A and B are shown apart, each in its own frame.
Chain A
């Protein structure tokens, strides 16, 4: 089985994407953060480094909540998306 990119895997999933974000980061804290756990802990890789800045997207979020727990600085504000939105597993 050929290796598959994460983007292609996420594209298989069914999402109902809300206009409201359910993830945000505190940029002031992120700027001073050294270990930047969010960059690798997220199974959907929602957090990316752009230059020196942590950027994030919420559309591919699998709603596991790992980022919220793993960020020891409390810089990630992750909540559940509004009811009815976000990931909708077909198989689960």
Chain B
């Protein structure tokens, strides 16, 4: 007789759900993953970079077989004013050695591969099915309802992403608020690999990430990004939804504007757009992480808002892997104890508190407040660009010292020393 009840049902075959399912299946538990996309990865999109160190704990040497695009050896941060751009450029060949520091990844391919590993490990994945509701026995979650059918389970792991219906149904999460999510829109732009390597000063499989601050968001909280893939670029913008809501700008227009900026347009010259995508990113940090468990129920990844945003780092994937793995450890324990109630499942939160997941979010708990400062997206990038212009201008007039240029520019931007001091203090605390 084949089992009709699973040790765990995982809703969502993204990084968090797959990490949980993989670890559980490897340990011999009966696992079912239900994914609403036609195939795992079909609904998934992110900016572009994956840090591999956490995944390597789950699948050692995964970089030898996973469909990775380029390993990132160069990081650029660019400040944009209306026309000018100012970049900080860091390149290190040491990032180009196994286990590598990070990879550019295309999620439709990567997630499909990861889901394949999950199946190999012995879990069953049902794609093309949307989990609609939870099954209850009193206060205990005992499975899910999908496509009108019941799927009983000892523990349900909600890995259903940023719009987590299940965390809400379980009564753990509130409805998302526009201040605590950002909207990412992105284009996949095809370019021959030789051109990418030449244009971005890269060897073979090396890649670059470039983050943009300033004019590309028209002063809204957010930024632009560019990642090099093997034969394409991922180019897009991420903007806080509440800001976008207030400003009344269309995201598609903003992306076109970004693409036509003099600091950007030559980077994508000659490319052809192959895909246009959009996704929400939770950005509330530790402040809005919901209760992570209840009887028979765990929330992981984006569904739990486990994403780190510091302005320089935007990492959800590592947190997804780590939370999925912690959930798996906890479900294994529940299986051993024969107790899927909160008494056992509270171990999940304990594991996350011990790991970087909740510790990083705690460390950077002030980031959101800091990043809400409009000066970061208007005054400072403009100041840096204008200052640089002043510094490099040769117009036959008497030259000024840097400090004089800075004072003049600060006056023009109505920026006082006090502002800088306050922002510096907040920045020191936040990033």
Contacts and interface: CB of A to CB of B under 8 A. Distances in A.
Interface string A49-89: 00000000000001111101110000000001111111111
Nearest to B244: A41
A89 B41 CA distance: 7
Residue of A6, A10, A66 contacting most chain B CB atoms (<10 Å): A66
Contacts of B189: 1
Contact of A91 (B43, B183, B275): B275
B391 interface: no
Residue of A3, A41, A85 contacting most chain B CB atoms (<10 Å): A41
A20 B277 CA distance: 22
B265 A92 contact: no
A33 interface: no
A83 B106 CA distance: 22
Contacts of B147: 83
B108 A89 contact: yes
A81 B44 CA distance: 15
Contacts of B109: 91-92
Interface string B248-286: 111110001001100001001111011111111000000
Interface in A5-53: 6, 9-10, 12-13, 16, 37, 40-45
Interface string B29-66: 00000001111011111100000000000000000000
Interface string B11-45: 00000000000000000000000001111011111
B275 A63 contact: no
A90 B275 contact: yes
A37 B151 CA distance: 39
Contact of A88 (B37, B178, B232): B37
A62 B251 CA distance: 13
Contact of A1 (B36, B38, B268): B268
Given A65-B280, A89-B42, A12 B162 contact: no
B178 A87 contact: no
Contacts of B107: 89, 91-92
Contacts of B244: 41, 66, 70
Given A37-B245, A89-B44, A91-B232, A43 B268 contact: no
A88 B112 CA distance: 12
B146 interface: yes
B202 interface: no
A1 B271 CA distance: 7
Interface string B130-157: 1000000000000000110000000000
Contact count band on B:
35 or more
B127 interface: yes
A22 to B, nearest CB: 10
Contacts of A3: 256, 259-260
A91 B244 CA distance: 26
Contacts of A85: 38
B106 A91 contact: yes
B121 interface: no
Interface in B222-265: 232, 234, 241, 244-245, 248-252, 256, 259-260, 265
Contacts of A4: 256, 273
A6 B276 CA distance: 9
B183 A43 contact: yes
Given A12-B276, A44-B278, A69-B176, A87 B268 contact: no
A1 B269 contact: yes
Given A4-B273, A12-B275, A43 B252 contact: yes
Contacts of B36: 80, 83-84
B183 A66 contact: yes
Contacts of A83: 36, 127-130, 146-147
Among all A-B residue pairs, the 6 with the closest Cβ atoms: A84-B128, A92-B107, A92-B108, A9-B276, A43-B278, A83-B130
Interface of B: 36-39, 41-46, 106-109, 111, 127-130, 146-147, 162-163, 165, 175-178, 181, 183, 185, 187-189, 232, 234, 241, 244-245, 248-252, 256, 259-260, 265, 268-271, 273-280
Interface of A: 1, 3-4, 6, 9-10, 12-13, 16, 37, 40-45, 62-66, 68-70, 80-92
23 contacts: A1-B189, A1-B270, A3-B260, A6-B276, A9-B273, A12-B276, A16-B38, A40-B249, A40-B250, A41-B251, A43-B183, A43-B252, A64-B279, A66-B183, A66-B278, A66-B280, A70-B244, A70-B245, A80-B165, A85-B38, A88-B39, A90-B275, A92-B42
